Structure 1
Amino acid sequence: MLDFERPIKELEERISGLHKLAGKSEEMQEEISRLEEALENAKKRIYANLTPYQRVQVARHPERPGFRAYRDALTEDFYELSGDRTGGDDPAVRGGFARLKHGGKSVVLIGHDKGADTKSRVEANFGMAHPEGYRKVRRLYGLAERFGLPVVTLVDTPGAFSGRKAEEQGQAWAISEDLMTLAGSRVPVVSLIIGEGGSGGALAMCLADHVGMLENSYLSVIAPEACASIIFRDSSRAEEAAESMKITARDLKARGIVDEVLPEPLGGAHQEPEEAIEVVGEALERVLDGLSGAGPDELVDARYERYRDIGAHFVSQI
């Protein structure tokens, strides 16, 4: 439970307690109905007015559906490919060939995997990939182009692993190669940010023809806590940093960095995972249909202009 959800939790506990005591008492049933109405109003009031940092907290919720949930619900015949053909495999990033249930298109599906329980989260380093993970991603981009398949990426990472070993093994180089490969990819590239979109670890998988974000996800060059530590010398001012950084889906949509904001169930994707996943599946079908008529040169040229326009927008603000 997140701090701002405490009033909701208290109402839910009161309603649960009354249900156990109510029996056939009309007076108690009326009180339950009143509290249920108050609960619904509280949810709408709280979740409609989340601050940027509260949205970051929702994006990090441990029960939020991750790559595995989307893969299992949205695809069939998923065939995972492992290894970077250089040094090893990284479970923080997974990908392979898949057929989407919505529309039946074959794609190369790639995503960050944070794990589903304590053991798998530790094994996946909580979705923070090493250089071999990003080299695997580049290999999958190349296979997609070779077979003429669209690339679909599901982004959910606090950032690429920034430990000494990762830097020694070329973390920055691996990410930059991913960016260069995507920039010149001659197949459609669709990226959806389903949770956290942290730093270069996210950017390596969201240089795309279409970028969508779930309502309570975020995309940022740095985590709010780290930004506050650098700018304010005080990580406790993360909420203030998040407000200034403009990292929410709606902020980024307003600045032309992302193309659409996908709605989440009331309370966040973790409250109704099936509904959130269905929204993503429908968006993928619609976007891929829209990109299917574009030729390879047209895709590359449009992608080039897209990112030049983003740069020009920010230069004009200086």
Structure 2
Amino acid sequence: SSFAPQTHIFHDVAPLRKYRQGLLSSARTVGLVPTMGALHAGHLSLVRAAAAENTDVFVSIYVNPTQFGLSEDLASYPKTWESDLAMLHTLDAELASTGAGRVSAVFAPTTKTMYPTLPPDSSIPGVGSFIEMRPLGQLLEGASRPVFFRGVATVCMKLFNICAPERVYFGQKDIQQTVVIRRLVQDFHLNTGVRIIPTSREPDGLALSSRNVYLGARRRAVGIVLHQALRKAEAQYAAGKRSRGDILWPANDHADQAKLAQDTLTPETRARFEVDYISLADPETMEELEEVDPARGAILSGAVKMLPVEQPGADEELGVGGGQIPVRLIDNIVLNPVS
């Protein structure tokens, strides 16, 4: 269509449902991109993918409290509503010129809308209505962040029920989240297709993330250690190695060497970090593998925690939070099956 439909902004369920009903009756299709705002090029790649397959793209913007543990960064999580809308507006104009689908709705609910009966509870006992996935939600990211996948699965169930999308779009960067969403759709017979879009990266390989704004120059430079380590493991698989030890040792070694290198520097120049995990896991269960079955492939993934800057240098670019917010970086590489 030549006219530019406006992007409707919804804060409540009833008007969004009414709008969705109108789209259904005119045989239009909806692709949902669920986000927590603080949009970056990675999110925009999801919107583009959704616009390529659907007449209408819905983007949800909601910082979901139940996926943050009590000690995590909910209070400091970046909120950039005006800039998020501006980015979507610019992208929508680009989509209009290419004849793709359009960003026709932004759903930005309040917490009262998303949690209508009880206030959201992030404690481990968790009073309220939740979706739990065991053991999938307890592994890897779930071991480090025990309430994370309960919160993600619960909020996605709500968003899918509200928006009734034909398809949903997630980034590969949060790979365990994509496994959780696929399992959610499968186990609860949700009527939506799941699309996973490759991770968007900086030129040096760092995965894009809303939390990267916390890093500052010094920690940003060291932050590529995780991606570099995973690439070393990937090379072993490509060279025909199949055992856990053979695939992971170069990754662990690279991280250990980088850690030592930082520890030898002065507090004014170093960016210290801790490796949370480096994993070689089954693509469907996320259980750790001792041996990769080449017919199934595997997921290489990891997480490192960039520690606060100890001693700022003169005129140093420290990032949002002055270099004092610890930043967990996650990344992964899919080891594809080989026949």
Name the TM-score, length of structure 1 as normaliser. 0.26
TM-score with structure 2 setting the length: 0.25
Q: Which has the larger share of helix?
A: 1
